[in-house]
Amino acid sequence: MISPKEKNDDFREPVIQGHPPSASRLLLNILGCLLSIPIYYFSTVHSRYPVTLDIVITIALTELNRYIVEGRRQDFARSQHTPSFNQHFDEKKDWSNLHLEAQPCLPSADCMAAVVGWREDPSLYSRALQSYKSAKTCTFFLAGIDGDEAEDQDMANVFCQVFPENSAVIQIPEPLGEVAERIRAKTMAFQRQNGIPVNEDEANAIAMQACLDLARSILRQHDLTIGGPQGIRHLCLKQRHMHKKGIMFTAYVFALVISDILGIEFLWSSDSDTIVFPDSLEKTINTIASDPKAGGASSGLVVHNNTETAVTNLASAVYWGELYLTRSTPACTGTSDCQSGPSTAFRLSALPAILVPWYMQVAFGKRMIVNEDRHLTTNLLLRGWNVIFASDVLAATDTPTTMARWLRQQVRWARATHIESLLRPKVYLVSHPLLFYGMVKREFGPAIGAFAVTWFFFTGHQLIEISIMDFVFRILISTTYNFVRNTHRLTFGDLKWIVPGVFFYYIPLPAVQIYSMLTMAADGWGTSMRASGDMERAKRESRRKAWFDLGFFVVWMGIVAGVLAKVMAIHWGLVWHEKMVCIMASMGVAMWGAWRVTIGASA
């Protein structure tokens, strides 16, 4: 049994910085990015069926990713039967300065799990924690609660009920993110005062080391024994309410310290509303366990509350039919650009060098807290780590139950996507060109669609040729493929939501894309707290804030309805005044309906 007291205190600063590409690789990446633009242009503008062609290419890349991921698992399975000299410990020795004797060993996929949340619904939180009891390869569980007030005690109580033995709850006196920020600022001020060139990497490393030392000290102060039959295997951290990035930073720092004590190489990170399956952790981590250049991975997602409302049924269809495919586009090259917060795995040796830069991210002169998942992934890619998407592995997450909350979530995710895609161009220089191609398609496709629809609304001129059969073929091909290959198997009752789910996702998408671009600096947890008392408080939000968050959707639905009415009026040969009446009536009905299900429902 190993405890913090017995562990070597010489926990040195991390030195693993990643795997930067060679100069020739950089040149090839640049050429590939330049070629991606005309390829995307000709495949869309000069194709009779651009949407169908796009889905065929996406399916091909998805299949290639599935093939590569399965090959990674087979490599790991073979390595388990072939002992290698010090294979398991070399990377850990590099970043934690552990003095281990050389010994033959087998690679291991053992991991610890870190789950963070804020005022989660107690019953849902209990289900989420219970699911980790049957999760394979999970040897330690760490919970993070972003709040220490009376309302936050419910989550701590649930933790104690689910893990009554070998567990402890710790109050963190000061969020470690604030500690890192303060020490980093002092270090850089010292450098300036002494005429030393400011070295941000050095300041980040010093701040990170101080946080690691503080976390170890906190464990020692509480006299906790980590590991062993009678030791702590479940730990809950509580700190003053900040934001999701704040509690994630604290949890990850403690995870590094605990993993060093237990000799664990991998971390599974998730949210308090996510339920894992017995093989979710094991099969995701197996994809990176045998590749020392793989810094992270994520699994696919399904919706566990899909039958709750019409919105959740539609969202479940979106997860099944759209997200499974779209996330696979760059993944076959090991450059997945987003590790989903509910189902992410990390190689722990990749984290120390990126945590402080991740936490301290600034965009538009403002500290960013809305893009915690994507920015972690970006930092991994910038340092040359591979990031894998295990599309055939599933975890079950909670989805918003109302249209208002769904749109807020989509806007929050889109803001994070824009920040990482448009403000970090260096990532495309060090990554495979397919990452850039996926960005161009994701960022500019919906924006062009929004511009074309708006242009037709005001001028009556069509910028893009639209083929109904193109969309029909796209839906048929993607639906057939998902039925055959998607790991998530639909029930008979789910079938009726597939086609409506396509419209539910793609009709608001152009507006979400444009509005999120214009409001990239907005922040917050994104989805509201779900504890019952706080839901009532959330319902009393100001009408002005509701219009700021959701008004774009009301306007967009009016434009879409106006376009459809104009098309029908032209088809029927209506005169000008008849056409205007048709357009205005359609817009009024659509905008009223959009207001009713969003702003009216949340006010």
The DSSP 8-state label assigned to residue 331 in this structure reads G
Closest among 246, 328, 242, 388 to 57, alpha carbons compared: 328
Segment 15-28, tens digit of pLDDT: 456 677 778 888 88
Give the Cα separation of 129 and 17 in Å (integer): 33
Segment 560-599, tens digit of pLDDT: 999 999 989 888 888 888 889 999 999 999 999 999 999 8
Distance of CA 367 to the CA centre of its chain: 19
The model carries a pTM of: 0.87
pLDDT at 99: 33
pLDDT at 17: 61
Give the Cα separation of 551 and 472 in Å (integer): 31
Distance of CA 96 to the CA centre of its chain: 27
pLDDT tops 80 at residue 80 = no
Give me the residue label for tokens 């999970």: 138
pLDDT at 4: 45
The DSSP 8-state label assigned to residue 503 in this structure reads H
pLDDT tops 70 at residue 2 = no
Strand partners, 592: none
Segment 471-483, tens digit of pLDDT: 999 999 999 999 9
pLDDT tops 90 at residue 462 = no
Give the Cα separation of 417 and 245 in Å (integer): 16
Mean pLDDT for the chain overall: 85
pLDDT at 362: 85
Segment 162-206, tens digit of pLDDT: 999 999 999 999 999 999 999 999 998 988 888 888 888 899 999
Give the Cα separation of 94 and 349 in Å (integer): 8
> Which SS3 state, helix, strand or coil, does residue 514 take?
helix
Segment 256-286, tens digit of pLDDT: 999 999 999 999 999 999 999 999 999 999 9
Give the Cα separation of 238 and 575 in Å (integer): 67
Q: How many CA atoms lie within 13 A of 417 on its CB side?
A: 25
399 contacts 274 by C-beta, under 8 angstroms: no
276 or 491, which is more confident: 276
Per-residue HEC secondary structure of 81-149 comes to CCCEECCCCHHHHHHHCCCCCCCEECCCCCEEEEEEECCCCHHHHHHHHHHHHHCCCEEEEEEEEECCC
Hey, what are 264's tokens?
């664990």
Residue 268's identity, in one-letter code, is W
pLDDT at 541: 53
Segment 201-247, tens digit of pLDDT: 899 999 999 999 999 999 999 988 887 778 899 999 999 998 899 99
pLDDT tops 70 at residue 97 = no
Give the Cα separation of 324 and 328 in Å (integer): 7
Residue 447's identity, in one-letter code, is A
Closest among 423, 400, 429, 425 to 412, alpha carbons compared: 400
Closest among 302, 307, 304 to 320, alpha carbons compared: 302
